[in-house]
Amino acid sequence: MKRTTLFTLLVTLPALAGAASMSPSERVAKAIDAMGGPALQQLRTLSVKAKTKHWEPNQSFQPGGEMRFAADSTFTDRRDLASGAARIDWVKDLKYPSVRTYRYSEIVSGGVGYVSGIDSGGRTQQSLGSNPPEHTMSGARLAATARELQRTSPALLLEMASNPKRLQAVPDQAVGSRKLPAVRYKAAAATFLVTFDPSSGLPERVRTRDYDALYGDTN
């Protein structure tokens, strides 16, 4: 019985060691291959349609209760990956703090961002007076929007592969009930933590940190 157990360990441990010893660059290369390899490198434009739900994380109907539901949204995201230009058309059905529908577009190009349409109840008279109503993004909103565009772009992996010195190995990360291999990538404007499915090699989560008024820097 002891011999059988020892033999099993001798066979299994090298395989586990090989998976754990994969370098950040090798893990990124595997993910690129899983996403299409050369086909991914030829990708120039992207169009995404999606539905989103929004909650207020620091509000509930009772202490310690579920987060208060705030809105349903649909959006269409169109991007030119080569130039970094993007347009996101939103339809947001707000349920809280008031009930109304916002229709607006976020446009980012050449390091500049602006909003066409009404995206909140706090718009100035100047922005409301234009036709259509529009306003420039604040610096904080532009930075956050640019970061999210990069975080959700399939081209992020290509950028990671082109900058191996910015990659760093990190311990396996908890994703639900699983522990997944991960790498850290320091981009120009943000640091991303990318976890990967160990079987397919596909990216599983792309995480970053943001400032929260109550909690400080938060995942």
Model confidence over 84-117: pLDDT tens digits? 899 999 999 999 988 999 999 999 999 999 999 9
Backbone dihedral angles phi then psi of residue 46, each to the nearest 5 degrees: -145, 140
Give the tens place of pLDDT for each residue, 122-134. Answer: 765 555 566 778 8
State how far the Cα of 84 lies from the Cα of 108, in Å rounded to an integer.
8
State how far the Cα of 19 lies from the Cα of 16, in Å rounded to an integer.
5
Count of Cβ atoms closer than 10 Å to residue 86 Cβ? 21
How far, in whole angstroms, is CA 199 from its chain's centroid? Answer: 22
State how far the Cα of 124 lies from the Cα of 111, in Å rounded to an integer.
23
Q: Averaged over 157-164, what is the pLDDT?
A: 96
Give the tens place of pLDDT for each residue, 15-36. Answer: 444 455 799 999 999 999 999 9
